[in-house]
Structure 1
Amino acid sequence: MSRGSYHHGNLRQALVDATVGLIEQKGPAAFTLAEAARLAGVSAAAPYRHFEGRDQLLEEVARQGYLDFAARLEAAFGGGRPSALSAFLRMGQAYLTFASEKPGFYIAMFESGLSIAGNAELSAAADRAQEALLTGATALFARIPADRRPPPIMVANHIWAMSHGVVELFGRGRPGSRVPVTAADMLESGVLIYLRGLGVIPS
């Protein structure tokens, strides 16, 4: 790809796409802005038209990742049909699918050490993803008396942590390949055991 192939309107996205590839190859800390520019086919100075530096480019990758991630979670929940439980389990599978299909974005979001609070647009995108899980968790306990419901945010965060743990187990070096279950089965069984303990599922 020659320099100048990207016009002003899509240079920003070209740099994001290049950075995703570099993250997948090298990790979130081992690439430079110049490398992203070279991979995008532009001069080393070109990225500065859109980004102040490498960290801001990485934040944009994470922001786009969170938006895609949130949209997948929302679609998986699908209004809680046919039941809140089945919809919630679909959200867990959507989490695993995203991590598998978009590893560069996933790493930027969760493993790059970015400060989400320092970027309003990134923070809003991350909040949207958490809100999707919170909606699912709230629906799970709708039929349980209010005085017996656990805080939905606690449940959402526990499931998020469980999902992230399964991704790590079956992703980085694949230590999960040593166990006789799939990532999807491990996550679903773990979620069901957790929800049974909270009284969502009868013993």
Structure 2
Amino acid sequence: MPKRGYHHGNLRQALIDAALALIEEKGPTGFTLSEAAKQAGVTPAAVYRHFAGREDLIAEAARQGYEIFADLMEYAYDKGQPSALASFEATGRAYLAFARKYPGHYISMFESGISVNHSPDLALVSSRAMGVLEKAAAKLTENMPEDKRPPARMVSAHIWAMSHGVVELFGRGSPGQKSPFPPEELLESGIGIYLRGLGLIKSDD
């Protein structure tokens, strides 16, 4: 009797989902392709029909994460309209929400060492996500005098770094770390101090 071939409804996505679970559990370098294949219920050889290696698999997980992330950022920005400040703050909160809800994707995107230039598709979608925060920064600073207006890319990079720091230290339950305040409050107060320093919101009386 001839050996039946293995059939899988969506092997490629099953492998990505398996990788995401393993990344969340063991980190981006803590699992093998064989483990991902086993978790997806296929042979290790089947992986190579879709991915050249573990790096390609993680890069695709990152690309899908950026798609979700960009959509969330755009939704948060639009929800905050018509206030430029509300939209700006909403994008920061969306960052925290994404990291909490999609830890496997978050790690793939920001902690795996995979370059956003790994593929044209990954570069494109990561630019879309970063572009939302830059757009929010440009709108927030547009009424500042031109000679005092910081580049929107710089402002967005500062807020991106602040958001990332809050997530890494306090937002994802890092071992041994306990947030002195809720992560959302830490980020909101940090953004407030930063924007007051730029003169974009008034100081408290």
Q: Report the TM-score range of the alignment, normalised by the length of the smaller protein.
A: over 0.9
Give the TM-score normalised by structure 2.
0.92
Which whole-Å CA distance do the structure 2 matches of 1:157 and 1:89 have between them? Answer: 14
Matches of residues 125-140 of structure 1 in structure 2 within 5 Å? 125-140=125-140
Which residue is equivalent to 2:90?
90
Which whole-Å CA distance do the structure 2 matches of 1:174 and 1:201 have between them? Answer: 35
Is 2:177 aligned against 1:175? yes
Which whole-Å CA distance do the structure 2 matches of 1:133 and 1:94 have between them? Answer: 11
Which whole-Å CA distance do the structure 2 matches of 1:118 and 1:132 have between them? Answer: 21
Matches of residues 41-56 of structure 1 in structure 2 within 5 Å? 41-56=41-56
- Higher-Rg member (1/2): 2
**Distance apart, 1:165 and its partner CA:** 0.4
Contact 1:77 1:90 in 2 (8 A): yes
**Distance apart, 1:149 and its partner CA:** 1.1
Query: Equivalent pairs: percent with the same residue?
Result: 53
**Distance apart, 1:174 and its partner CA:** 5.6
Aligned to 2:44, the other structure's residue is in SS state: coil
CA-to-aligned-CA distance 1:134-170 (integer Å, 9 cap, x gap)? 0110110122222221100001111000001000111
Task: Give the letter aligned to residue 175 of structure 1.
Answer: Q
Aligned to 1:6, the other structure's residue is in SS state: coil
Contact 1:80 1:139 in 2 (8 A): no
Which residue is equivalent to 1:159?
159
Which whole-Å CA distance do the structure 1 matches of 2:153 and 2:183 have between them? Answer: 24
Structure 1: segments with no counterpart, 5+ residues: none
Which whole-Å CA distance do the structure 2 matches of 1:189 and 1:4 have between them? Answer: 54
Task: Give the letter aligned to residue 16 of structure 1.
Answer: I
Which whole-Å CA distance do the structure 2 matches of 1:107 and 1:193 have between them? Answer: 28
**Distance apart, 1:80 and its partner CA:** 5.0
Which whole-Å CA distance do the structure 2 matches of 1:99 and 1:80 have between them? Answer: 20
**Distance apart, 1:15 and its partner CA:** 0.6
Which whole-Å CA distance do the structure 2 matches of 1:148 and 1:176 have between them? Answer: 38
**Distance apart, 1:129 and its partner CA:** 0.9
Which whole-Å CA distance do the structure 1 matches of 2:87 and 2:59 have between them? Answer: 30
Matches of residues 1-203 of structure 1 in structure 2 within 5 Å? 4=6, 6-7=8-9, 10-78=10-78, 80-170=80-170, 171=172, 172-173=174-175, 175-177=177-179, 179=180, 181-203=181-203
Which whole-Å CA distance do the structure 1 matches of 2:50 and 2:124 have between them? Answer: 20
Give the TM-score normalised by structure 1.
0.93
Task: Give the letter aligned to residue 187 of structure 2.
Answer: L
Task: Give the letter aligned to residue 63 of structure 2.
Answer: R
Aligned to 2:199, the other structure's residue is in SS state: coil
